[in-house]
Amino acid sequence: MNWTDFASWGRRVADWAQDYHLTVGERPVRAQTKPGDMLTALPETPPEQGEGMEAIFADFEEKVMPGITHWQHPRFFAYFASNAAAPSVLAEFLTSAIAPQCMLWQTSPAATEMETRMMDWLRQSLGLPGEFRGVIQDSASSATLAAVLTMRERALNWQGNQQGLAGQPTLRIYCSSEVHTSVDRAIWVAGIGQANLVRVPIKGDWRGMNPAALEAAIAADTAAGLQPAGVILCVGGTGTGATDPIADCIEIAQNHGLYTHVDAAWAGSAMICPEFRAYWPGIEGADSIVFNPHKWLGAQFDCSAHFLKNADDLVRTLAISPEYLKTHGHDGIINYSEWSVPLGRRFRALKIWFLIRTYGLEGLRQRIRNHVAWSRQLHDALAQEPDFEIVTPPMWSLWTFRYAPKGASDLDALNLDLVNKINDDGRIYLTQTRVDGALVIRFQAGAFETTEADIMLAHNVITEIARGQN
């Protein structure tokens, strides 16, 4: 294939993509294949000669698509949504076509300056103060790693990168048990060590960090000769939507001179709605905040918005500027590769621009508000069923439940079997988690094209399959 054939194939793929999104709700949500099916379908050796696009595309439809779990399905209620709104997909198409490398201002001036503007648009949409500046990372995991590295360097007076960690004070990072596993990985990669990630007890319906316990943990570590370095807070944790008391925890951290990072990867999108900002009072005091427009906002994966109160700390931690990466003759420019762990960077800002211009903030707000309202409607309906119990209350559009018929002895096994049967059925897709050791089933609404009817169908599916398995 060459560029003279591209347009005709581009039109064919565009038609296929449109049809896919319009009809994806007719497919089973989760892939119905068995482990090894795709591997078996692929030849063990690469072809020596090129093949025509007709054969390649036919294999895509016949071999690949049966093994795809449909994240754009309107009844995808598992994990968190990874959305792909139509204008975002078009923007990604254009990004792929021009294929810019956006590591420096001079390598992609338009991309760099659009990233600056789009991050400020997002800052305004969340109601964050003007002092915050932003960078688009690939994922919240990368933003959290960057934050942990910054915590480390600040605590070690910027000597960690230069001298290594041998002989340095033992650093301590604080979080709750509800944070994402990316926090653990960041601790590993930063060389701080799992043993020095302090899990602070939680309390309350929000399952958030206990501020008194945080204060006590910091005091105990200081007395023991250890060096507190930072606090990682959670707004909308993956399991249950757990949310720390942001204002109280940040105040404690500031009193001890500790850097604070807030992981709002999923729930941060909801903060474009002013009424939901009560979940993170005091957020303006944070040093670092991350949320993923590629989850609930509608942007194509990958796209993670990382806000910084003092970007200089991050740049001081990550920036390396050999001569070949310098831009001479231009003062005051931003090279976003100095704000990220990778040097290479994609043109992620374009899809945010397309997305916000297409729907406007109010259009995006209405989708989020609908998801929250409809999810709570389902919650209320299931709460009325005598053989079901709500385990954790709605946090935005996320809550947990379990099937608990009278006389059942092993509820963990019963509910694991139930969630597997629901997913094998194919009409909806749910995932499980554990709450205080008990296995429960999660529900979250966030697919870009989901409707009230899609969400309420879940009630029928859940109750029908649960009662049919007895």
Q: How confident is the model at residue 321 (pLDDT cuts 50, 70, 90)?
A: low
Residue 197 above 80 pLDDT?
yes
Indicate whether 134 and 217 sit together in one domain: yes
Q: What are phi and psi of 177, to 5 degrees?
A: -75, -10
Tokens (6 digits) for 110? 């338009």
Residue 65 above 80 pLDDT?
yes
Tell me whether residue 163 is in a domain. yes
Average pLDDT over residues 98-119: 82
* Predicted pLDDT at 21: 94
CB-CB contact of 296 with 269 (8 Å): yes
Q: What are phi and psi of 207, to 5 degrees?
A: 55, 45
- CA-based angle 67:68:71, to the nearest 5? 160
Indicate whether 135 and 229 sit together in one domain: yes
Indicate whether 301 and 417 sit together in one domain: no
* Predicted pLDDT at 225: 94
Tell me whether residue 50 is in a domain. yes
Q: Is 284 exposed, middle or buried, given 0-12, 13-18 or 19+ CB atoms closer than 10 A? A: middle
Indicate whether 168 and 288 sit together in one domain: yes
* Predicted pLDDT at 324: 40
CB-CB contact of 132 with 289 (8 Å): yes
| Residue that wins the pLDDT comparison between 63 and 469 | 63
Indicate whether 443 and 464 sit together in one domain: yes
Domain boundary among 76, 110, 134: 76
Helix orientation angle between 452-468 and 411-425, rounded to the nearest 10 degrees: 130
Average pLDDT over residues 386-396: 96
Q: Is 48 exposed, middle or buried, given 0-12, 13-18 or 19+ CB atoms closer than 10 A? A: exposed
Give percent of the chain with pLDDT exceeding 90.
Answer: 72
Domain boundary among 318, 346, 374: 346
Q: What is the 3-state secondary structure (H, E, C) of the chain?
A: CCHHHHHHHHHHHHHHHHHHHHHHHHCCCCCCCCCCHHHHHCCCCCCCCCCCHHHHHHHHHHHHHHHCCCCCCCCECCCCCCCCCHHHHHHHHHHHHHCCCCCCCCCCHHHHHHHHHHHHHHHHHHCCCCCCEEEEECCHHHHHHHHHHHHHHHHCCCCHHHHCCCCCCCEEEEEECCCCHHHHHHHHHCCCCHHHEEEECEECCCCEECHHHHHHHHHHHHHCCCEEEEEEEEECCCCCCCECCHHHHHHHHHHCCCEEEEECCCHHHHHHCHHHHHHCCCHHHCCEEEECHHHHHCCCCCCEEEEECCHHHHHHHHCCCCHHHCCCCCCCCCCHHHHCCCCCCCCCHHHHHHHHHHHHHHHHHHHHHHHHHHHHHHHHHHHCCCCEEEEEEEECCEEEEEECCCCCCCHHHHHHHHHHHHHHHCCCECEEEEECCEEEEEEECCCCCCCHHHHHHHHHHHHHHHHHCC
Domain boundary among 298, 325, 346: 346
Tens digits of per-residue pLDDT, 299-310? Answer: 998 888 999 999
Indicate whether 254 and 308 sit together in one domain: yes
* Predicted pLDDT at 221: 96
Question: At a CB cut-off of 8 Å and minimum separation 6, what does 211 contact?
Answer: 245, 248, 249, 252
What is the domain-level CATH number for residue 290? 3.40.640.10
Indicate whether 30 and 118 sit together in one domain: no
Q: Which residue has the tokens 């209350």?
A: 393
Tens digits of per-residue pLDDT, 415-437? Answer: 999 999 999 999 999 999 999 99
Tell me whether residue 432 is in a domain. yes
Average pLDDT over residues 373-397: 96
Tens digits of per-residue pLDDT, 249-283? Answer: 999 999 999 999 999 999 999 999 999 999 999 99
What is the domain-level CATH number for residue 13? 1.20.1340.10
Cα 367 off chain centre by: 18
Q: Hey, how many other C-beta atoms are within 10 angstroms of the C-beta on 134?
A: 23
Indicate whether 375 and 334 sit together in one domain: no
Indicate whether 283 and 382 sit together in one domain: no
* Predicted pLDDT at 470: 54
60/79 Cα distance (integer angstroms): 26
Tokens (6 digits) for 468? 């049919």
Strand order in the sheet with 171-176: 133-137, 304-308, 288-291, 259-263, 227-234, 171-176, 197-200
Indicate whether 335 and 429 sit together in one domain: no
Mean model confidence pLDDT for the chain? 91
Indicate whether 330 and 366 sit together in one domain: no
Segments forming the whole domain that contains residue 439? 359-468
Lowest mean pLDDT among 94-98, 147-151, 183-187, 229-233: 94-98
Q: How confident is the model at residue 331 (pLDDT cuts 50, 70, 90)?
A: low
Tell me whether residue 95 is in a domain. no
Where residue 395 falls (left for φ over 0; alpha for ψ -120 to 50; beta otherwise) is: beta
* N-term to C-term CA, the chain: 56
What is the domain-level CATH number for residue 417? 3.90.1150.170
Domain total for the chain? Answer: 3
234/280 Cα distance (integer angstroms): 10
Tell me whether residue 455 is in a domain. yes
Q: How confident is the model at residue 179 (pLDDT cuts 50, 70, 90)?
A: confident
Question: At a CB cut-off of 8 Å and minimum separation 6, what does 312 contact?
Answer: none
Q: What is the pTM of this model?
A: 0.91
* Predicted pLDDT at 329: 43
| Residue that wins the pLDDT comparison between 3 and 440 | 440
383/377 Cα distance (integer angstroms): 10
Tell me whether residue 45 is in a domain. yes
Tell me whether residue 90 is in a domain. no
Q: How confident is the model at residue 332 (pLDDT cuts 50, 70, 90)?
A: low
Tell me whether residue 83 is in a domain. no
Residue 328 above 50 pLDDT?
no
Indicate whether 152 and 281 sit together in one domain: yes
Average pLDDT over residues 228-245: 95
Tens digits of per-residue pLDDT, 26-42? Answer: 999 999 888 999 889 98
* Predicted pLDDT at 292: 94
